A and B are shown apart, each in its own frame.
Chain A
Amino acid sequence: MLELPLVKGDPFHHVMEAILDLSDVAHVVCTTRGLNLLAVDTKHLAIVSLLFPAEDFKGYTCDEYISIGIPIRDLVNAIRCGDDKDTITLKVGEENFGTITLSFVSPEKNTVDYEFRLVDAKLERFRLPDRHFLRSKYQGSVKMPSVEFRRICKCLSNFGDEYGVISVTDEDLTYFAKGTDGDVYVEYKQQEEDTTIFKIDVREPVRLAFNPKYLNTFAKVFTLSGQVKLFLSKTHPLMVECKIGQKGRIRCFVAPKVEP
């Protein structure tokens, strides 16, 4: 049995809204320890992974291992219909396994229940590379304010949705996007005095081409946290990470684009 309390505008809802146009299904694994969500875009170029430990989820109840495929559009449509003040609970029970119930309770105790079919109740358990593996593959990381990151992603995506480049050296971080009528460059210099807000950490310079559309999609999710951290590799997907709550985190991966 699973009971997942949700609030309109909470990180879970935010992630669902963000990946609405990228993927049809969110693969969710719940255990007594917490929730893991994984969604892959239809072209297999971007992945979002969300980890919510049970202690960060007030009212979270799960007494067994549950692996479900949630139809993202159905869930988002239902949440959008709810009121901001409603208490929302996502339920998967033993009797109705194969369906999901989303219950909305207003402050006046009026209720609305949505019931929809899970995409696939018996999904395989996905394994993402662990933190140590990932760290060994990345030659550089950059910590920066998430609001600033979102602004850049929006700017790059507006300019050129298809081709962008992130370059990092121990002195600066640059973003570049190629548009149809011109190019855009954004440059950040490492400030020696204050590394709490912006910090570059590189073993060797990295240059990575990517599709700005995906980063722009994910960037709004990262504003749930004050800081965002980018991990760059010459050969592996770009990873962007932010912390949610005490121990939760969101990670997005964007496949590198082969340079034209």
Chain B
Amino acid sequence: SPTQKTLDRFFRGH
């Protein structure tokens, strides 16, 4: 299950 941290990391980009 994803967490808010996963989403934040996803949207922060690379």
Which residues of A are at the interface with B, using a C-beta cutoff of 8 A? 25, 27, 40, 44, 47, 69, 119-120, 123-124, 126-129, 137, 233, 235-237, 253, 255-256, 258
CB contact between B13 and one of A27, A47, A69, A233 (< 8 Å): that residue? A233
Interface centre among B3, B6, B13 (most CB of A within 10 A): B13
Q: Is the CB of B14 within 8 A of A40?
A: no
The answer to whether residues A120 and B13 also contact, given A40-B7, A44-B6, A47-B7 and a CB cut-off of 8 A, is no
Could you tell me if A25 and B1 are in contact, using CB atoms closer than 8 angstroms? yes
Taken residue by residue from 1 to 14, chain B's Cβ proximity to chain A (1 for < 8 Å, 0 otherwise) reads as 11110110111011
Which 6 residue pairs of A and B lie closest in terms of their CB atoms, listed nearest first? A235-B13, A236-B13, A40-B2, A129-B11, A44-B6, A126-B7
Chain B residue nearest to A25 (CB atoms) is: B1
Q: Determine if A237 and B7 form an interchain contact, defined as CB atoms under 8 angstroms apart.
A: no
Dominant SS at the A interface? Answer: loop
The answer to whether A256 and B10 touch across the interface, beta carbons within 8 angstroms, is no
Please determine whether A127 and B2 come into contact, CB atoms closer than 8 angstroms: no
Q: How far is the CB of B9 from chain A (nearest CB, A)?
A: 8
Give chain B nearest CB distance to A249 CB in angstroms: 17
Neighbouring A residues of B3 by C-beta, 8 Å: 124
How far apart are the CA atoms of A119 and B1 in the complex, in Å? Answer: 10
Q: Which residues of B contact A137 (CB under 8 A)?
A: 13
Listed by A's residue number, 30 A-B pairs whose Cβ atoms lie within 8 Å are A25-B1, A27-B2, A40-B2, A40-B6, A40-B7, A40-B10, A44-B6, A44-B9, A44-B10, A47-B10, A119-B1, A123-B1, A124-B3, A124-B4, A126-B4, A127-B4, A127-B7, A128-B11, A129-B11, A233-B13, A235-B13, A235-B14, A236-B11, A236-B13, A237-B10, A237-B11, A253-B10, A253-B11, A256-B13, A258-B14
* Chain B proximity of A244: nearest CB distance (Å): 22
Complex Cα distance, B2 from A124, in Å, reads 10
CB distance from A216 to the nearest CB of B (A): 20
Among B2, B4, B6, B14, chain A packs the most CB atoms within 10 A around the CB of B2
Closest residue on chain A to residue B6 by CB atoms: A44
Residues from chain B with a CB closer than 8 A to the CB of A27 are 2
- Give Cα A69–Cα B2 distance, bound, in whole angstroms: 11
* Docked CA distance A27–B6 (Å): 14
Give min CB distance, A125 to chain B, whole Å: 8
CB B13 to nearest CB in A, in angstroms, measures 4
CA distance A123 to B1 in the complex (A): 10
Judging by beta carbons under 8 Å apart, are A255 and B10 in contact? Answer: yes
Which B residues are CB-close (under 8 A) to A258? Answer: 14
